[in-house]
A and B are shown apart, each in its own frame.
Chain A
Amino acid sequence: MSSSPAILPAKGPADRLTALFWRHPRVLLAILLTPPLLWLGVVYLGSLAALLLQSFYSIDEFSGVVKEEFTLKTYAELLRPSNFDILLRTVLMAAAVTLACAALAFPIAYYAARYAKGHWKAAFYLGVMLPLWSSYLVKVYAWKLILAKEGIIGWAAEQTHTSWIIDGLLSIPGMEGSSLSTSPLGTFMVFVYIWLPYMILPMQASLERVPNSMLEASADLGASRGQTFRTVILPLALPGVIAGSIFTFSLTLGDYIIPQIIGNSANFIGMAVYQLQGTAGNIPLAAAFAVVPILIMLIYLAIARRMGAFDAL
Chain B
Amino acid sequence: MTAAVEFLSVSRHFGPVKAVDGVDLTIAEGSFFAMLGPSGSGKTTCLRLISGFEKPTGGTIRIFGEDVSNTPPHLRNVNTVFQDYALFPHMNVRDNVAYGLMVKGMGRAQRHAKAEEMLALVKLDAYGDRKPAQLSGGQRQRVALARALVNEPRVLLLDEPLGALDLKLREAMQDELKALQKRLGLTFVFVTHDQHEALSMADSLAVFNEGKIAQIGTPQDIYDRPATRFVADFVGSSNVLPPDLTRALGGPAEWASLRPEATRLSATGPVSGPVKALRYLGSGTRVVIDAHGTEIAALVPAGQPVPAEGTTTAFAFEPSALHLMGTK
- Chain A directly contacts chain B within the complex, with at least one CB pair under 8 Å: yes
Q: Does A63 contact B (CB under 8 A)?
A: no
Task: Check if A2 sits within 8 Å of B29, measured CB to CB.
Answer: yes
Q: A8 with B75: in contact, given A1-B152, A2-B154, A2-B185 (CB under 8 Å)? A: yes
Q: Does B68 contact A (CB under 8 A)?
A: yes
Which chain A residues numbered 1 to 48 have a C-beta less than 8 Å away from chain B? Answer: 1-2, 4-10, 15, 18-19, 21-23
Task: Check if B74 sits within 8 Å of A15, measured CB to CB.
Answer: yes
Residues of B within 8 A of A7 (CB): 63, 66, 68, 71, 75-77
For residue B144, give the distance in angstroms from its CB to the closest CB of chain A. 19
Which chain A residues numbered 118 to 174 have a C-beta less than 8 Å away from chain B? Answer: none
Chain B, residues 49-93, CB within 8 Å of chain A (1/0): the string is: 000100000000001111010111111111000000000000000
Task: Check if A10 sits within 8 Å of B154, measured CB to CB.
Answer: no
Residues of B within 8 A of A8 (CB): 75-77
Cα distance A22–B14 in the bound complex, in angstroms: 17
Closest Cβ neighbor of B76 among chain A residues: A7
In the complex, which of the residues A1, A5, A18, A23 contacts B74, with contact meaning CB atoms closer than 8 Å? Answer: A18
Closest Cβ neighbor of B154 among chain A residues: A6
Task: Check if A6 sits within 8 Å of B76, measured CB to CB.
Answer: yes
Cα distance A207–B75 in the bound complex, in angstroms: 50
Q: Does B172 contact A (CB under 8 A)?
A: no
Residues of B within 8 A of A5 (CB): 64, 77, 154
Q: Does B184 contact A (CB under 8 A)?
A: yes
Residues of A within 8 A of B29 (CB): 2
Cα distance A19–B70 in the bound complex, in angstroms: 8
In the complex, which of the residues B68, B72, B152 contacts A23, with contact meaning CB atoms closer than 8 Å? Answer: B72
Task: Check if B186 sits within 8 Å of A1, measured CB to CB.
Answer: yes
Cα distance A273–B192 in the bound complex, in angstroms: 66
Q: How many residues of B contact A (CB 8 A)?
A: 22
Residues of B within 8 A of A21 (CB): 72
Which chain A residues numbered 63 to 115 have a C-beta less than 8 Å away from chain B? Answer: none
Closest Cβ neighbor of B187 among chain A residues: A2
Cα distance A156–B71 in the bound complex, in angstroms: 78
Chain B, residues 203-235, CB within 8 Å of chain A (1/0): the string is: 000000000000000000000000000000000
Cα distance A4–B76 in the bound complex, in angstroms: 11
For residue B73, give the distance in angstroms from its CB to the closest CB of chain A. 7
Task: Check if A6 sits within 8 Å of B74, measured CB to CB.
Answer: no
Task: Check if B75 sits within 8 Å of A6, measured CB to CB.
Answer: no
Cα distance A21–B72 in the bound complex, in angstroms: 9
Task: Check if B66 sits within 8 Å of A6, measured CB to CB.
Answer: yes
In the complex, which of the residues B64, B73, B186 contacts A6, with contact meaning CB atoms closer than 8 Å? Answer: B64
Cα distance A8–B185 in the bound complex, in angstroms: 21
Residues of B within 8 A of A23 (CB): 70, 72
Cα distance A18–B78 in the bound complex, in angstroms: 17
Residue among A6, A9, A15 with the most chain B CB within 10 A? A6
Chain B, residues 175-191, CB within 8 Å of chain A (1/0): the string is: 00000000011100000
Residues of A within 8 A of B78 (CB): 6
For residue B5, give the distance in angstroms from its CB to the closest CB of chain A. 9
Closest Cβ neighbor of B105 among chain A residues: A11
For residue B119, give the distance in angstroms from its CB to the closest CB of chain A. 18
Which chain B residues numbered 16 to 59 have a C-beta less than 8 Å away from chain A? Answer: 29, 52
Cα distance A15–B76 in the bound complex, in angstroms: 12
For residue B182, give the distance in angstroms from its CB to the closest CB of chain A. 13
Residues of B within 8 A of A10 (CB): 75
Cα distance A1–B70 in the bound complex, in angstroms: 25
For residue A80, give the distance in angstroms from its CB to the closest CB of chain B. 57
Task: Check if B77 sits within 8 Å of A4, measured CB to CB.
Answer: yes
Residues of A within 8 A of B66 (CB): 6-7
Residues of A within 8 A of B75 (CB): 7-10, 15, 19
Task: Check if A19 sits within 8 Å of B72, measured CB to CB.
Answer: yes
In the complex, which of the residues B63, B65, B73, B152 contacts A22, with contact meaning CB atoms closer than 8 Å? Answer: B73
Residues of B within 8 A of A4 (CB): 77, 152, 154
Cα distance A19–B52 in the bound complex, in angstroms: 11
Cα distance A146–B62 in the bound complex, in angstroms: 78
Task: Check if B72 sits within 8 Å of A22, measured CB to CB.
Answer: yes
Task: Check if A18 sits within 8 Å of B68, measured CB to CB.
Answer: no
Closest Cβ neighbor of B71 among chain A residues: A7
Which chain A residues numbered 267 to 286 have a C-beta less than 8 Å away from chain B? Answer: none
For residue B151, give the distance in angstroms from its CB to the closest CB of chain A. 9
Q: A6 with B77: in contact, given A1-B186, A18-B72, A23-B72 (CB under 8 Å)? A: yes
Q: A1 with B52: in contact, given A6-B77, A7-B75 (CB under 8 Å)? A: no
Chain A, residues 219-246, CB within 8 Å of chain B (1/0): the string is: 0000000000000000000000000000
Q: 12 A-B contacts, Cβ less than 8 Å apart? A: A1-B152, A1-B186, A2-B154, A4-B154, A5-B64, A6-B63, A6-B76, A7-B77, A10-B75, A18-B72, A19-B70, A19-B75
Known: A2-B185, A6-B77. 13 other contacts (CB 8 A): A1-B184, A4-B154, A5-B154, A6-B63, A7-B77, A8-B76, A15-B74, A15-B75, A18-B74, A19-B72, A22-B52, A23-B70, A23-B72
Which residues of chain A have a CB within 8 Å of any CB of chain B? 1-2, 4-10, 15, 18-19, 21-23
- The 3 A-B pairs with the shortest beta carbon distances in the complex, nearest first, are A22-B72, A6-B64, A6-B63
